[in-house]
Homo-oligomer: A and B are copies of this chain.
């Protein structure tokens, strides 16, 4: 006997504030019989009668994805919650990995990914438009890739003029990587390149700092921080009595606007 396959919504909660959760995400959460996720993300979702919450640890992405797929394959309506956007260094890739490696029943699940405001967009919005021209996003964690590959990507991105958003810049187990990344980028970029540290944007403990690359150090970041390193074209505009704007012009390579 085969149960009818259910539905798995992989839902992006955005950076934190409820005002940045899309109506589509809110509807997908309300529709689910069971919610899976990292505890602090589940805590953001209002409790509903009859709806179960199954919390797991931050590092258990793959097993969490498998548990959610198993429940959906058995006919459940399941939501797997993700901070930011599920497709950017978050749960959607873990779900796809689990589908590819898992039982045939996982391939029958109706999987819907609901996008969210990813951290780099929220941080960029706070300071102006640092991602206003070509940019890249690099996961600075070397848990799942060799550090030499991170270095090669930093070099390629800075060398080609991309603005760089650094996700997962530091953790207790990875204290030195961000400092090493700044050292490396200082060889390729001007000392006064703007660097933005955006922590917990839209939450109560939000903190934004703008420094020059010459002064950028790993001590300004923690696990809740997203770092944006400008390109040589990124500009800082001072405003009397207001925070400066940081932006990357739409034109590049000497073209006039």
**Interface, chain A (partner B; CB < 8 A):** 14, 17-24, 27, 61-62, 85-89, 92-97, 99-100, 107-108, 110-111, 113-118, 121-122, 124-126, 128-139, 143-146, 148-149, 152-153, 155-157, 159-162, 235, 237-242, 245, 247-255, 257
- Name the one of B107, B156, B237 contacting A160, with C-beta atoms under 8 angstroms: B156
Copies of this chain per assembly: 2
The answer to whether A153 touches B162 (Cβ under 8 A) is yes
The answer to whether A96 touches B128 (Cβ under 8 A) is yes
- Name the one of B130, B132, B252 contacting A149, with C-beta atoms under 8 angstroms: B252
> Interface centre among A88, A100, A250, A251, by most B CB within 10 Å?
A250
Inter-chain CA distance A90–B152, complex, in Å, is 29
The answer to whether B132 touches A134 (Cβ under 8 A) is no
The answer to whether A134 touches B139 (Cβ under 8 A) is yes
Do A115 and B122 form a contact, CB below 8 Å, given A138-B134, A153-B162? yes
Give the shortest distance, in Å, between A9 (CB) and chain B (any CB): 11
The answer to whether B132 touches A96 (Cβ under 8 A) is yes
Do A144 and B21 form a contact, CB below 8 Å, given A113-B126, A136-B136? no
Closest to A236 in B: B100
Q: Please, which residues of chain B bring their CB within 8 A of the CB of A86? A: 125, 129
- Name the one of B93, B115, B247 contacting A117, with C-beta atoms under 8 angstroms: B115
